[in-house]
A = this chain, B = another copy of it.
Amino acid sequence: MNANALKYRLIGKPLRSSELQAQRYGVLWGLPVLSSDAISSVAYATEEILLVLVPVLGMAAYTPMLGVAGVIIGLLFMLILCYRQVIDAYPQGGGAYSVARENLGRIPSLIAASGLIIGYMLTIAVSSCSGAAAIVSAIPQVEPLRVPLIVLFILLLTVGNLRGLRESSKAFGLPTYFFVASMLAMIAIGAVKAALGQVEPAEQAAQLSQTTGDLTLFLFLHAFSSGCSALTGVEAISNSVPNFSDPSRRNAKVTLVALGLIVLCIFGGSCALAMLYHAAPADNLTVIAQIAAGVFGSDSIGFYLIQTTTALILLLAANTAYNGLPQLMSLLAQDSFLPKRFADKGSRLVYSHGIVFASTFAIVLVVAFNGDTHLLIPLYAAGVFLSFTLAQGGMVIHWRRKRCRSWMRKALINGAGAAVTALVFAIIVSSNFLAGAWISLLAIGCAAWAMNAIFHHYQNVKKALGLNDNERAKRLLLAEAPKARIIIPAYAINKPFIKTLNYARGLSDNIEVYHVKVSAQATRRFKADYQKLEISIPLVIEKAPYRNVNEVLLDHIDEKLGELEKHETLTIVIPQLVTKIWQMPLHNQTTLMLESALVGRRNVAMVTIPYLIDS
């Protein structure tokens, strides 16, 4: 009961299944909760682009950066166009997985799902690492505590999400608006200052003189693929349509467009400011922090405000994954691709198993990559763009099958989306393969294989257990159930033995008491005590010359199993001493041994009769 009290304290009292409808949100709260990933990626996407360009081009990096940012924003609006059609076609959510499942078949849908799962887990890891980087930029002293801090944030998110959607959305929604507001303010003030010619370049600009090469196509594409991590949040909205209040489709579509406009303003704006203020990647000071220092002054309230809201939105961006991943996993579980429990809602009406799963893997990633955003980025976008491609490809098939009004136009839009995202996927994989994309691809392959294996296992079990028709079930029901055959293994005549004997006599008349002889003296005594009971139940004694009592008992059971008639089951009835847990090593755990040994045998049932020792 104490464990339950602690659980209620942590995640709140259980909610009734009938309270489900109430746990949804409109555009106002749905936007910040589901879009914080995409919006927050501004905090690292600009930096990731510069990280590729600056070491090679130096001062000349800013013009191609604007080009890269422009292409990414164009891609974003293309994805939004495509995903509006997905929301229309699949209002039950599921995004890439549902679409691929219905239109492309099992294996492609599992690959899409694996890509999304890996992507979601990386969202949690990358966002919290990047959030920690914003904190370190403001307070460099916390650098040694970075990894434990990240883990702590993930644990807080876990608890928040286990408590349930509504409370999460309010707590986690406000910081998104704060971030957007403070970024817009920074961009506006920065632009005005630049127009007035009051710009001081950031300190890091010193290194910009080191130019080592020219702008090549490969360099441009590499920078582009790093910046594509900004687009990883888009599918969350289309996966979560059922979480919107009615009219859920319309709300989801409005949210999607709002997201696009916000990203356009602040991603575009911050890229422009990075150019104007000559911000360049450096240790322990992010590009956004350099811009904020340039606009507001490096120890101003404005600087700390930007760092605070950046850190908050990044940490909460991880929350996007907590909305998308458990829902996706529950869909997969319903379709028998994951253990059934992922489809069960916990006491607070959220998919608790999926939430805990996501947190566990994200923490493993953070610790394995030492909390470094730059190391995680190459793993990130590949999976997401793979699932984008499969979703858009699936949509083309969908429209072709449906042949609804203006299906050609719709198929064309999604087809173009599929082609572009496939190209981007190829660019991401080829420019980041050795840097980490291979890990993602391997993980996606393994996950898809495992889910397929799980599917086959459930199919086999269903076939093995199922009763196709009712006649079959009735035929299997025996008209006359055979009486039980019972063996009672015994080593001493004591109270638990008598209790067991009484119990067994209530079940059947076909009982045998079975004793293994190791010491002649002990067996003599057992026999004498047994005879004094004056009961007619036969006593069978067998020798264990090698003192292997359990093996002799098992051999006897196997022999008896061989003698069973059809439909008969052998029943082993055995007393089990129940002591406090730390006293268990003081007693022979024959019951446990028998249980694990008998587990592979058919037609043998085991009954344990507990005997409690109070002291």
A interface, CB within 8 angstroms of B: 14-18, 339-341, 344-347, 454, 457-458, 460-461, 464-467, 470, 473-474, 476-478, 481-484, 492-496, 498-499, 501-508, 518, 529, 532-535, 545-548, 567, 569, 571, 573, 577-579, 583, 585-588, 598-602, 604-615
What residue of chain B has the Cβ atom nearest to residue A599's Cβ?
A: B578
Question: A74 to chain B: closest CB distance in Å?
Answer: 44
Q: Is the CB of B495 within 8 A of A546?
A: no
Q: How far is the CA of A303 from the CA of B501 in the complex (A)?
A: 72
Apart from A14-B546, A481-B502, A506-B508, list 19 A-B contacts with CB within 8 A: A339-B587, A340-B588, A461-B579, A465-B492, A465-B496, A465-B611, A465-B613, A467-B493, A470-B529, A473-B493, A473-B498, A477-B501, A477-B502, A478-B505, A481-B504, A503-B569, A598-B610, A599-B610, A605-B609
- Take A346-B547, A612-B600 as given contacts and tell me if A518 and B466 are in contact as well, using a CB distance cutoff of 8 Å: no
Bound-complex Cα distance A467 to B530 (A): 12
CB neighbours of A547 from chain B (8 A): 17, 344-347
Q: How far is the CB of A178 from chain B (nearest CB, A)?
A: 36
**B494 adjacent to A482 (CB under 8 Å):** no
User: What is the chain B residue whose CB lies nearest that of A507?
Assistant: B507
Question: 4 closest A-B pairs (Cβ-Cβ)?
Answer: A481-B505, A481-B506, A14-B546, A465-B494
A311 to B536 CA separation, bound complex (whole angstroms): 65
| B610-A498 in contact (CB<8A) | no
Chain B residues near A573 (CB-CB < 8 A)? 605
Cα A199 to Cα B599 in complex, Å, equals: 74
- B610 to A477, Cβ gap below 8 A? no
Q: Are B494 and A467 neighbours in the complex by a CB distance under 8 Å?
A: yes
Residues of B within 8 A of A495 (CB): 464-467, 476
For the complex, give the distance between the alpha carbons of A533 and B532 in Å. 48
| Closest beta carbon of chain B to A488's beta carbon, Å | 13
Contact of A478 among B481, B502, B518, B567 (CB under 8 A): B502
Beyond A16-B545, A477-B502, is A583–B494 a contact (Cβ under 8 Å)?
no
Q: Contacts A495-B465, A498-B476, A578-B599; is A610 near B604 (CB within 8 Å)?
A: yes
Contact between B548 and A474 (Cβ–Cβ < 8 Å)? no
- How distant is the Cα of A337 from the Cα of B44 in the complex, in angstroms? 65
Could you tell me if B502 and A461 are in contact, using CB atoms closer than 8 angstroms?
A: no
Most chain B beta-carbon neighbours within 10 Å: one of A474, A529, A547, A573: A547
Task: Please name all residues of chain B whose beta carbon is closer than 8 Å to the beta carbon of A494 when the two chains form the complex.
Answer: 465-467
A400–chain B nearest beta-carbon distance, Å? 33
Most buried by B among A496, A508, A529, A546: A546
Q: Which residues of B contact A478 (CB under 8 A)?
A: 502, 505
B609 engages A608 (CB within 8 Å): no
- With the chains together, A7 CA to B508 CA distance in Å? 40
Known: A473-B498, A484-B506. A602 touches B612 (CB 8 A): yes
A508 neighbours in B (Cβ, 8 Å) = 506-507
Q: Which residue of B lies closest to A580 (CB)?
A: B457
B contact residues around A533 at 8 Å (CB): 470, 473-474, 477
Closest to A458 in B: B586
In the bound complex, CA of A18 to CA of B517 (Å): 13
User: Separation in Å of the A189 CB from the closest CB of chain B?
Assistant: 52
**Residue in A340, A465, A535 whose Cβ sees the most chain B Cβ within 10 Å:** A465
List, sorted by A's number, 28 A–B pairs whose CB atoms are closer than 8 Å. Answer: A14-B546, A16-B546, A17-B547, A340-B586, A347-B548, A464-B495, A465-B492, A467-B493, A467-B495, A467-B498, A470-B529, A473-B498, A473-B532, A474-B532, A474-B533, A476-B495, A476-B502, A477-B501, A477-B533, A481-B504, A482-B506, A502-B567, A503-B605, A507-B508, A569-B609, A578-B600, A598-B610, A605-B607
- A474 vs B495: C-alpha distance when bound (angstroms): 11
* Residues of B close to A474: CB separation below 8 A: 532-534
C-alpha spacing A612/B464, complex, angstroms: 9
Q: Give Cα A193 to B15, complex, Å.
A: 93
A548 to B29, CA, bound (A): 30
B609 touches A607 (CB 8 A): no
Residue in contact with A613 in the complex, picked from B464, B501, B587, B598, CB distance below 8 Å: B464
Q: How far is the CA of A579 from the CA of B458 in the complex (A)?
A: 11
Q: How far is the CB of A326 from chain B (nearest CB, A)?
A: 15
